[in-house]
Chain A
Amino acid sequence: MKKLVFFLLFCWAHWVYAQPYAYITNQGDNSVSVIDTNTNTVIQTIAVGHRPAGVVVSNNGKRVYISNPESKNISVIDTKTLTNIKTIKIGSGPLAIAISPDDQSVYVADWYEDSIFIVDTVSLSIRNKIKVGDSPSGLVVNPDGQFLYVANRDENTVMIINLSENKIVDTIEAGIAPFGLALNTKRNELYSANVRSNNISVINLHTKKIMNIKVGNFPYAIAVDNIDERLFVTNQRSNTVSVINLNEMKTVKTINVGEYPEGIDLHPNNIHLYVANWFDNIISIIDIPALKVISEIEVGEGCRAYGKFISH
């Protein structure tokens, strides 16, 4: 029965989304590799700014926004033509990047200015700037667009910003050096990957209580599997992905991937995970039912893909 549901979901996914693409930032090549996930081949390489790291695909699939920390700007990619249509100057060190559910606002965390820049996607200019904690590194927006969650790496906190007033409404202590964030609305939980304490903080957004789950070394980014209530976490120094069962609140499996796995994203078919291995310049594709790597794709130098990099 479960298999049938998966199969139907799979067909449905293919019917609705003709071509989900994965947009991979290549830090060393100053480019983005575009992968057609139907064929799992690189169909285009797009030049962007200097040392691209962060990425987010708009919810309508029309645009991709890339953060370039060393040229201090973001690149805007049009997905129809697969070209870089605009470069927007941002602060001093733009890294993490996220988008509002209505695609009207892009949020960019600036590592040096300890701020979040809000970019208007119509005028393609900065609309606002919010001061946050030390070295903001991870961003996630909740599905109704009301709250933005920020991981402040160098002060071990996660902040909640109310987006209707652009105000910080709560600051929560997480593990040491929180980096990647992920949200699970079904369980009303927020997760932070804590690079220095080698664990995941599970934050109950109702009670604000925290539970930590041990993973591998230098956890970096998190993907949520809503169907089976699991988390997938890249561990940079262990060259693995930890699988966390959220009902048992523990790591149930460790999958070997390439070296320095960083960005991780769930394909809309809910069957495949894409993982960017920074050292090897390779994307590993994990089959979720089998919990193992089934394929690899060569991309550019120093792939990071930090953010939601697969179109829906």
Chain B
Amino acid sequence: MKYLKLSLISILLIPVLVSAHGPSRQKVVQEIEINANADKIWKIIENFCSIQDWHPGISSCNADNGSEIKSIRTIELKNGEKINEILFKLDAENKRMQYGMQELEEGRIIKGLPIATHGSTISISESEGKSKVQWKGAFYRSFPGQQPPAELTDKACIEAVTILYKTGLENLKKLAEK
């Protein structure tokens, strides 16, 4: 029995022989013009977990240390998938927030958002009473091999992230222009 246990453990300890993600990093940039001043928009997004209120694609959020640097939030997508994200920078003066996905467990692929090593920045700039909100990010596809199925390709990942950013920004515009 002890022998069996040991051999089971050693099977678990065999290193996985594939890399953690796809070969080339991808990027997505989305921008939206909002008829509101930057302060008003920043108030909506400045709390790290307020994303559950302003993003229609995210149903819940819990953060382990509020909006402090290195706080980890767990966001839940509409399909029930949960993702951990770490706050890197919160620059209230320049209205800029930078965060990144916590590394996924080996082999995990998030349904509907098949990306890995996601780093992201949301920033607001204002001129003449109007604001521009930019959401940009860099990521890899999480499929590690060379021949991903159609729903896990770089292209599919770019589409998924574009939708994530776009739907968020459109709803943010709605809320800010109210």
| Distance to closest chain B CB from A300 (angstroms) | 13
- Place the interface of chain A in its size category: 20 to 34
Q: Which of B16-51 contact A (CB under 8 A)?
A: 17, 19-20, 23-25, 27
The CA-CA distance from A53 to B138 in the complex, in Å, is 16
Task: Judge whether A134 and B17 touch: CB under 8 Å.
Answer: yes
CB <8 Å contact, B27 and A237: no
Determine if B20 and A237 form an interchain contact, defined as CB atoms under 8 angstroms apart: no
Q: Is B136 a contact partner of A51 (Cβ separation < 8 A)? A: no
Distance in angstroms between the alpha carbons of A134 and B146 in the assembled complex: 16
Question: In the complex, what's the smallest C-beta–C-beta distance from B149 to chain A, in angstroms?
Answer: 17
Tell me whether A93 is interfacial, beta carbon within 8 Å. yes
Measured CB to CB, the nearest residue on chain A to B100 is A237
Instruction: Give the distance in Å from the alpha carbon of A278 to the alpha carbon of B19 in the complex.
Output: 21
Is A149 an interface position by the 8 A CB rule?
Answer: no
Contact A92 B19 (CB under 8 A): no
Tell yes or no: A135 within 8 A of B by CB: yes
Residues in A with CB closer than 8 Å to B88 are: 217, 237
- Is A302 within 8 A of B27, CB to CB? yes
Residue of B nearest to A95 (CB): B23
Q: A20 → chain B, closest Cβ, in Å?
A: 28
B15 A155 Cβ-Cβ under 8 A: yes
Which residues on B sit within 8 Å (CB–CB) of A93?
A: 23, 146
B119 close to A (CB within 8 Å): yes
Give B109-164 interface residues, CB cut-off 8 Å to A: 119, 121, 136, 138, 146
B97 to chain A, nearest CB (A): 14
Q: Which residues of B contact A112 (CB under 8 A)?
A: 19, 146
Contact yes or no, A278 B20, CB < 8 A: no
Assuming A134-B19, A154-B20, what are 15 further A-B pairs, CB within 8 angstroms? A27-B24, A53-B24, A69-B24, A92-B146, A93-B23, A111-B19, A135-B19, A153-B19, A154-B19, A196-B103, A278-B138, A279-B136, A279-B138, A302-B25, A302-B27
13 contacts between A and B (CB under 8 A): A27-B24, A51-B23, A69-B24, A95-B23, A111-B19, A111-B23, A134-B19, A135-B19, A237-B100, A260-B25, A278-B25, A278-B27, A278-B138
Binding site for B on A (CB under 8 A): 27, 51, 53, 69-70, 92-93, 95, 111-112, 134-135, 153-155, 196, 217, 237, 259-260, 278-279, 302
